[in-house]
Structure 1
Amino acid sequence: MLALVELAKDPYERKARLAPGLLVALPLLVPLVCVYGVRHPILTALVGLLAGCGAMYTLASVARVRGKQLEERLVKSWGGMPTTLALRHSDQTLDSVSKRRYHDAIVSKLGIEMPTAEEEAAAPAKADDTYIGATKRLRELTRSNKSLLLKENIAYGFHRNMLAMKPIGIATSLLGLLYGLVLAGVLGLDPLNVNLVNFANPGLAAAMTLVISVALLASWLFYFNADAVRRVGVAYAERLFECLPSLPSVVKKKKAQAA
């Protein structure tokens, strides 16, 4: 129960991890509740019991683990995390003016010397290590930021986890679509037949199942992809580095300590 309380309280856990898991299950949950929930209150109670016993936490954990596994593959294909790419001299993700501004701010605010373009070209692995270290330090200093930076971080986690759950989401959406057609009487199974006239009055449960299943299927197929995750990741990287000016300067700290 404590895990569920923490899950509900934490906006990142709730939106970036739990939401993808619930969206995967939604095409099957809607007909289950709408069709059988009223007739069988025990089933509704059982669904509530499963949720209370950790079903939601399990869904969030599955989304998180699959998201992390996917991220490893994406980082290999991209050549690095969006935050690392944004700091590289050789990368064109950000314009050179913003890149120079972020480098200068990291030096003055974090006290971390950034490699030049020549040093990066001579030792790219060492340069990346510096970029990763600077990004980790910046994250540590901005953990209390609950405004736009947190929203961008949630958006990145949500898109990554949704892409990771895509194969399962497509399968459940197709099952929901098939079941919605059966509920509406459009598709008969015994004997197998199709009656398109029933589309005119499918019934509330069938209509909700069909609309949700089609909408989610379209999202899985046409929106959630590696490019979408990278775009959101770059947006998060920009918001993260834009926090640098609000941090206290390392130079000022050293002068204050010396005084």
Structure 2
Amino acid sequence: MTAPTDPGALSPEQARELFRAGLIRPTSGWCAGWTQANLIAVPREHAYDLLLFAQRNPKPCPVLDVTEPGEVSTPLFGGDLRTDLPGYVVYEHGEPVAEVPDVTGRWRDDLVAFLIGCSFTFEDALREAGVPVRHIEQDRNVPMYRTNRMCRAAGRFGGPLVVSMRPVPAGRVADAVRVTSRYPAVHGAPVHIGDPAELGIADISRPDFGDPVEIAAGDIPVFWACGVTPQAAVMASRPALAIGHAPGHMAITDARDGRYLVP
């Protein structure tokens, strides 16, 4: 299936219809002005531990919504969480066993789904402020990395902080910090600026998730906490089953970005 020529002009409903029909595509730059979210679903018996993990690690895990067990939509997301994202990862005992465009046959009545804030939400604001977003310019998925910073554990869940990286011209880094700090519900200000080795990232050209992005002369790597962190916790903690979005392939919600903008 061919991607639309102007995905930013689509409504969330139109985008979800394309994904339901089988389009697989990272969603950065899609549905301008509409909030995107990470998805992680775990069995009910582990849901409290995951909620506590998110509460203890609000920077990478800002919770936007949580379903009742077995529910596949929420007031925030009017589509079907099993079909209306462009890609999913299924985990069994912490191992990714399938990356698929539809998880209808794998969804269980006891699954509790969490929608976690996503930094794609503030990318329109960055561009409006004149801060380039290189992975959109290069038509690539955002690069994401496991770090040497450990999250605070909760119950059975623990694991490393995951970050997304955007190269920013040195003269615009302060603008990037200022803009993103006003979106605390979607990760907010960067967690690190500069040397990736300080985060334990040995090779910035080899992300753990997403695509490598070319860093222009004069750019500085800037790192934001990432909502793939709960999936890293799943991999480290090994519950029998979990379902997440394919990194960069987000749930496009029915909330406007401005809902999460603070003065």
TM-score by length of 1: 0.22
Counting strand residues as a fraction of each chain, which structure ranks higher? 2
Q: Over alpha carbons, which structure has the higher Rg?
A: 1
TM-score by length of 2: 0.22
Counting helix residues as a fraction of each chain, which structure ranks higher? 1
